[in-house]
Structure formats: C-alpha cells, structure tokens
Structure 1
Amino acid sequence: MEVAYSPQLFPVSVKGVVVRDGKVLLLHNERDEWELPGGKLDLGEGPSDCVAREIMEEVGWAVTVGPLLDVWQYHIGSGVDVLIVTYGCHNSSSSAPVLSHEHKDVGLFSEADVGALRMPDGYKASISAWYRHLADGG
C-alpha cells in the first residue's frame, strides 16, 4: 500500500537582529507583539538579501548581514505557521529608524528591556544570541 506524501507548506520569514548603541531595533505589529524587522522570502531571493531589503523597507536602514542565528517554526494560530530565520545584522547609520506603514510603532530597546516585552520566545533567543556574539567581539 502506497502512502501519499503531503508536505507541510508555510511561508518563510527572514528577520534581522540589529543592535545600535547597545539597543536592539524592534517593531510593534498588528498582533500587539514586538518583533524583529524582516519579512517574507521571495522566490529566487537569498535569505540575506531578503533581510537587508526588508530592513531598508521597514525602517530605512541599510545593514550588513552577518551570521545565521537561529531557525524555528512560529505557530501564530490555528493553521498559521511561519518558518522564522534570524540573522545578526550590522548597522552604521546614525539616523533614527523611520516607521513604515507595515507596523504600529518602532523602538530601540536595551537587552534588559527585551525580557518584559510581549514577543515570541524565539525572537528573544535570537536577540540574546546576537548580544552574546557581539560581546565576544563579533
């Protein structure tokens, strides 16, 4: 008896952890959560190109994409899952982040502030990993 294979299909969202002057860049979304900047991976687009494009679109910052930090599946709700890919990103801009129409608010938060924010634990883990990497000279 042959068993039909039915793959799970869900979008891929590539996110960037950007720390400037000791503070991480976060966006407030329509689910009343704080999240990392980034977005859906387009067909034919590399993940690092995606995150650089999305951060420019969402806050107007050009970034240099660094190492892969984590990959995890985010269960948003019934039948809605997204594969999250996070990268550490470097930013040398001194300009304030510019809020796009995609989010409700933008902010820069200290590492200590992140723990109390309403956001998925996977994002918090990626933020911690990037702070550790930066502290180690990365």
Structure 2
Amino acid sequence: MTDPNRPYLVERNPGNFEYQLPISVKVVIDLSGRVPLLKNEREEWELPGGKLELGETPLSTAAREVEEELGLEADLLSGLDAVDSWVYEIFPHRHVFVVSYGAEYLGGRQPRLSHEHKELGLFRYDDIAALTMPEPYKETIRTWRQRRSGG
C-alpha cells in the first residue's frame, strides 16, 4: 500500500516504507554554441530527456529522448558524457532522480518540437541564467559549458 500524499514511498512491510524515485535522464546539447530547451506544462524551460524505461541504460534513454523530443540523430552526438545528478522536487509529493549528460551535435538537422512540449527554443549559454528554469538545470548547463571550454 502506498501513501497517496507520498507516492515515492512504497510499503515493503506493514509500517516500513522504502523511498523510491523514478529516474529521468536529461541532455545538454551544444548546437553550434546554442542549447535547445523545451517549455513544459509548468511554463518552465527544461532540458530534453525523460524517464528511464525498463531494460534501458541511462545512455540509451538519453539517445532515445533526443530523437523523440528533438528529432536529432543520437548517433551524431559527440562526447555524450555524464555531467551530474540530483533529486528534483517537482511538487512536495512528487520527486524524481535526474541524471544529466552533455554532448555536441554534429549533424545537419535542425531540432524540431515534438507533441510533448509547448515550445522549443535555442539559447546562447549567456542567456540561460535569465530563463524561467529550475536551478539544477541551469547548474548542469554551466557545468557542461565549463567542461567544454576546459575551465
């Protein structure tokens, strides 16, 4: 039995709850100095990505989500590398464990908006700080930028 106010707690034995979180894999993609971001239903910008599905690895989830949400060929992502991870509180009763990766896109396609989001934007790194976006995403983008520049 789960507590409807805290669905991330699953009862293993009567009165003994185990903390469980869905895993979401996000990707910072550098497209010639711009980062594609997607606007969600909460009117926040976010990185492309989604939930790890049964049988997937975080890397295969990253590749699948980039293709689904942006229409970019995952095999043309160069340097796909783990950046960081954190627990994100979407709402007080809904948390998710986020694993992020960074990559440079080497293909010729332009990203396209899928049905999963309200808007697609391509932002210069210096414009990210002013966006309505959860701080952990901004930190991930800063970290990826610093790694790419060697600083």
TM over 0.5: same fold? yes
The alignment status of 1:71 with 2:82, answered yes or no, reads no
SS of the residue corresponding to residue 56 of structure 1 reads: helix
1:29-68 to 2 correspondence within 5 Å?
29-63=40-74, 64=77, 66-68=80-82
Task: Report the counterpart of residue 11 of structure 1 in structure 2.
Answer: 22
The structural deviation recorded for 1:51 is 0.6
Residue 140 (structure 2) aligned to one of 123, 126, 131: 126
In structure 2, give the amino acid aligned to 1:132: Q
- How many pairs align? 135
The structural deviation recorded for 1:78 is 2.4
In structure 1, give the amino acid aligned to 2:32: D
The alignment status of 1:90 with 2:81, answered yes or no, reads no
Segment of structure 1 superposing worse, 109-118 or 90-99: 90-99
Measured against aligned partners, the alpha-carbon deviations of 1:96-138 in whole angstroms (never above 9, x if no partner) come to 211100001111101111000011111001101111111119x
The structural deviation recorded for 1:4 is 5.9
Measured against aligned partners, the alpha-carbon deviations of 1:13-49 in whole angstroms (never above 9, x if no partner) come to 0000001111111011111000000000001200000
Which is strand-richer, 1 or 2? 2
In structure 2, give the amino acid aligned to 1:92: L
% same residue: 44
Structure 2 unaligned spans of 5+: 1-13
**Superposition TM-score, scaled by structure 2 size:** 0.84
List structure 1 runs of 4+ shifted beyond 6 angstroms.
Answer: none
SS of the residue corresponding to residue 115 of structure 1 reads: helix
Structure 1 unaligned spans of 5+: none
Residue 25 (structure 1) aligned to one of 36, 51, 54: 36
Task: Report the counterpart of residue 119 of structure 2 in structure 1.
Answer: 105
SS of the residue corresponding to residue 17 of structure 1 reads: strand
**Superposition TM-score, scaled by structure 1 size:** 0.92
The structural deviation recorded for 1:80 is 0.5
SS of the residue corresponding to residue 6 of structure 1 reads: strand
Cα separation, 2, equivalents of 1:41 and 1:15: 10
Q: Is the radius of gyration larger for structure 1 or structure 2?
A: 2
SS of the residue corresponding to residue 19 of structure 2 reads: coil
